[in-house]
A and B are shown apart, each in its own frame.
Chain A
Amino acid sequence: MGDSNQKSGMSRRNFIKGLGGGIAGATAIAAKTGKAAQEGPHGAMVVGAGPVKISLLINSKKHELTVDPRTTLLDALRNDLDYTGTKRVCNKGQCGACTVILNGKTILACSMLALDADGASVETIEGLAQGNKLHPLQEAFVKHDAMQCGFCTPGFIMSCVSLLRENNQPTLDEIKNGVAGNLCRCGTYPNIFKAVEDAATTIKKGG
């Protein structure tokens, strides 16, 4: 029993630490907005709804921006900046269309506040190609027609970039698992699988 508790990754001590993080976070927001946290109508601590300055390193380019504290990373990318390659589809972490790579890990940009990404390095679909030279995954998606309407495509490609970084020769099952969090309504999955297999071979050859 003791072992399984450890593996769950959430010990009681960490849980309490997590709560502490929330309070510390509120203080950090207060510092940024210049407004003190105050008691809200139901006793919860509420921080002023003023705009907050943050900085994001997007595709190696630094952006300073001022966001509404409610703004998600997705909306900051799309509305406050112009990184519209990252799509909004379900806006609640169910479809994978807003997948970006944050500090080396894929995340769903709709499910993170822009504030929480302050100072982070974000990779989006716009940063993959080198000038006119497409990334091998982008090449392979075009070659195998791994898209129809194309609205899910950026999210799929970002999931696949991350997959191939972790595992450069994935099996078909590993590819399926790698994109299991991304939905495509046009039904292009089999072509996506082919594209990832092809890109993996290209990358292995140094392409």
Chain B
Amino acid sequence: MTGWKKLNDMTYLGKSYTRVDGPDKVTGRAKYTYDLKFPGMLYGRILRSPHPHAKIISIDASRVVNMPGVKAVLTDIKDEVFFVGDDVAAVAAETEEIANEALLRFKVEYQVLPFTVREEQAMLDDAPKVFSNRDNNIGSTQDRTEGDVEKGFQEADVVVEQTYHINVQVHNPLEVHGCIVKWQDDELYMWDSTQAVHGERSAMARHFKIPENKVHVISHHMGGGFGSKLGMKSFHIICANLAKKAAVPVKLMLDREEQFLAVGNRPSSIQKIKIGAKKDGTLTAFQLDSFGTAGIGGGAGVPQPYIYQFPNYKVNHKDVFINAGAGAPMRAPGHPQANFAMESIMDELAEKLGMDPLELRIKNDPNKTRQQEYLIGAKQFGWDKRLKSGSQKGKIVKGMGLGSGRWSGGGNRETKANVNIYPDGAVDVKIGTQDIGTGARTIVAAVVAEELELDLKDVLPLIGKSDYPWAPASGGSTTTPSISPTVKLAAEKAKNSLIVRVADEWKVTPDQVIYSKKTFTSKDGAQSLSWQEACELLRAPISEMEKWNEGLSDSGTAGCQFVEVEVDKETGHVKVTRMIGVHDCGLVVNMLTTKNQIQGGMIGEIGYVTMENRLLDADTGIMPNADMENYKIPGALEMPDFNITMFDESERGVIGVGEPPAIPGVGAIANAIANAIGAHFYETPITPDKVLMAIQGKEGKS
């Protein structure tokens, strides 16, 4: 095994090149799960609960089963529903129109049960219980301690104590969740908009008690997931059961409203924080009491104390159940919530200490990479021009803020890839990863092209099938560090096999054959073959499989972002005007797609902090804004200017970068708004009403 070539010696890695499926995506040729149809295929729909908590007493489907065009009906899905939008029944029909009409004809008798959709209320002793078999609504808890927190606060000259309320965000991939299931004898084929073809295969096999090698999951193109498509969900099972019953393929795509209710969200987080520091800014203690909800699911914990070094800390967390759809991992689970609270309280501490916020961070951040990134970012951004908070007069005021992030990621050692070289010179690579929009298909081809010294167009990347060698789910920034080393090693092995074949032909030992730039030459210079000629020596294709190995990838990223905003003090409107990101991910496999992905993460932060909010009505449990107009995500008019710098650590090998850019700007945006108006924020999203209240509150105090 050889390592990566030097950065300057590489044709593709570390450089920018356009994605191989770009032309398919811009012409409409790229077929997503949503776009596929099969002969005789039916359309499935799920009847969803209008109640946040109820027992299903009976389902009368008599007016559904006799409907012309209806081919399969499921009424035995469950007997209790736990949130508005939970599965009740399902139907498959010849057209979507018929399936939709069929949903109106079910007659369901419910026994409505008490419910709760407020995490504060859910924690009370007399709160309605989400799950009747549990003593209360508290899920998993965390208790972490280091040092002596009481002593830490005694040593502090300044103590700040605040509580932060962070709202629920919904993933909203543009292609909604959905799949097509086709049973062929006892084998299951599933075309799925998924982040994990292999994970779905295992889960479906387990659920239906069939061998894993009789389940085939396919995802050629998929329209985004952001963590919400990492595993099997109830609609997959429903679709497969409908298809089994109807004995024809069934396509079940959720609609946008179902996406908001039933397939995942980023959990809320309420964090009561106490932080202490000495006069010179040295942090002494951190205490957190937090809770949050992932609906009927879990995972609302936060990785506090985030980023900065506290010799003494105490963390206490509770997951709280409410009657809402289960949470799902979303781009850097837990980190944006931790970042918002930590960066907010750090700025408030800096203000009390009379210290520059950047100086306070540099003083307490143990990460060497980020120490350098702060300086690069601050210089590019013009941090020295930051004005004292709330010092500007007039209607429009500007503000600046900064924030930091970290993520681990790293490669999965079980990853496998197969590289084939054919007698006609063709090359392909098979790996059961999937491209969720990050450009995975392109880097798979580029890494092989780099190793075999071929052009990108000469390598066919075959991904998105569970029948291909195992690769992990596309999540947690693990994809690139898993697949790049594996594919490189398989390509290297295939290249060596071809060298052996050429050596045989020349009756020399393989070490006498030199390969460079599509040409094989003997060390003595007497013999030479082109790539094409060498491949023609093969009687059968070379097919080499390799497994991931150490040494070509790493885990752990830093990263920081600087944000400038303009706030209209009369309307409370916030405009993010500039965002600067300084990030690292080791050896950048494709500079073009990497910077695009980072920029995308930063745009997501604008939505999270200033717009997006999953509302739940306390009286009915209904989400009143379950559409793309009332739940607002960032659009073209909200775009600031971006500047992204990749901090070069290419010697570390490949590291993922999906999560890191979705973190630092969260607190940075909040702090920039606070800097503009001179008042801090304790609740997200920071919408105009909250900005106006903060301004009023400040004026009320003065």
Contacts and interface: CB of A to CB of B under 8 A. Distances in A.
Contacts of A154: 26, 28
A125 B97 CA distance: 25
Contacts of B380: none
Interface string B217-259: 0000111101000000000000000000000000000011000
B175 to A, nearest CB: 5
Interface string B545-584: 0000000000000000000000000000000000000000
A87 B603 contact: no
B35 A185 contact: no
Nearest to B27: A129
Contact of A177 (B255, B599, B637, B642): B637
A145 B592 contact: yes
Contacts of A147: 19, 22, 25-26, 437
Contacts of B175: 87, 89, 149, 151
B101 to A, nearest CB: 8
Contacts of B279: none
Nearest to B594: A145
Contacts of A190: 599, 639, 642
A125 B176 contact: no
A153 B25 CA distance: 7
What band does the interface of chain A fall in when counting residues whose beta carbon is under 8 Å from B?
35 or more
A122 interface: no
B224 A153 contact: no
B23 A134 contact: yes
B636 A182 contact: yes
A136 to B, nearest CB: 11
B256 A145 contact: no
Contacts of A176: 636-637, 639
B653 interface: no
B437 to A, nearest CB: 3
A25 interface: no
Given A148-B437, A176-B636, A180-B637, A125 B28 contact: yes
Interface string A96-136: 01000000000000000000000000001110110000100
A124 B639 CA distance: 27
A137 B26 CA distance: 9
B420 interface: no
Contacts, number: 166
A92 to B, nearest CB: 6
B96 to A, nearest CB: 7
A151 B174 contact: yes
Given A142-B18, A145-B592, A176-B639, A150 B221 contact: yes
Describe A's contact surface by its main secondary structure. Answer: loop
Residue with the highest number of chain B CB atoms closer than 10 Å, among A141, A186, A191: A186
Given A85-B27, A89-B174, A187 B636 contact: no
Interface string B182-223: 000000000000000000000000000000000000000111
Interface stretch (B82-90, B371-379, B626-634): B626-634
A35 interface: no
Interface string A48-89: 000000000000000000001011000100110011111111
A177 B597 CA distance: 23
A88 to B, nearest CB: 7
**Interface SS of B by simple majority:** loop
Nearest to A88: B34
A141 B437 CA distance: 14
Interface in A175-201: 175-177, 179-180, 182-193
B95 interface: yes
Contacts of B95: 68, 79
B487 interface: no
Contacts of A141: 22, 26
B437 A89 contact: no
A134 to B, nearest CB: 7
Nearest to A80: B95
B405 interface: no
B3 to A, nearest CB: 28
B330 to A, nearest CB: 12
Nearest to A143: B18
Contacts of A153: 25-26
A143 B439 CA distance: 14
A31 interface: no
A38 interface: no
A94 B627 contact: yes
A89 B96 contact: no
Interface residues of B, number: 55
A126 B35 CA distance: 14
B342 to A, nearest CB: 24
A183 B97 contact: no
Contacts of B627: 90, 92, 94
Contacts of A179: 636
B602 interface: yes
B266 to A, nearest CB: 14
Given A68-B95, A79-B96, A179-B636, A151 B32 contact: yes
Nearest to B21: A150
Given A89-B176, A141-B22, A185-B174, A149 B437 contact: yes
Interface in B1-56: 18-19, 21-23, 25-32, 34-35, 37
A157 interface: yes
A151 B95 CA distance: 23
A142 B22 contact: yes
A161 to B, nearest CB: 12
A4 B612 CA distance: 36
A188 B600 CA distance: 6
A26 interface: no
A79 B42 CA distance: 11
B173 interface: yes
Contacts of A187: 599-604, 634
Interface string B107-125: 0000000000000000000
B174 A145 contact: no
Interface in B621-663: 627-629, 633-637, 639, 642
Interface string B592-614: 11001101111110000000000
5 contacts: A87-B223, A92-B629, A142-B23, A184-B174, A193-B639
Interface of A: 68, 70-71, 75, 78-79, 82-92, 94-95, 97, 124-126, 128-129, 134, 137-138, 141-143, 145, 147-154, 157, 175-177, 179-180, 182-193
Given A82-B37, A95-B174, A183-B635, 12 more contacts: A87-B223, A142-B22, A142-B26, A148-B438, A149-B221, A149-B437, A150-B21, A151-B173, A186-B600, A187-B603, A189-B635, A191-B599
- The 6 lowest CB-CB distance pairs between A and B, nearest first, are A85-B28, A187-B600, A151-B223, A149-B437, A187-B603, A150-B25
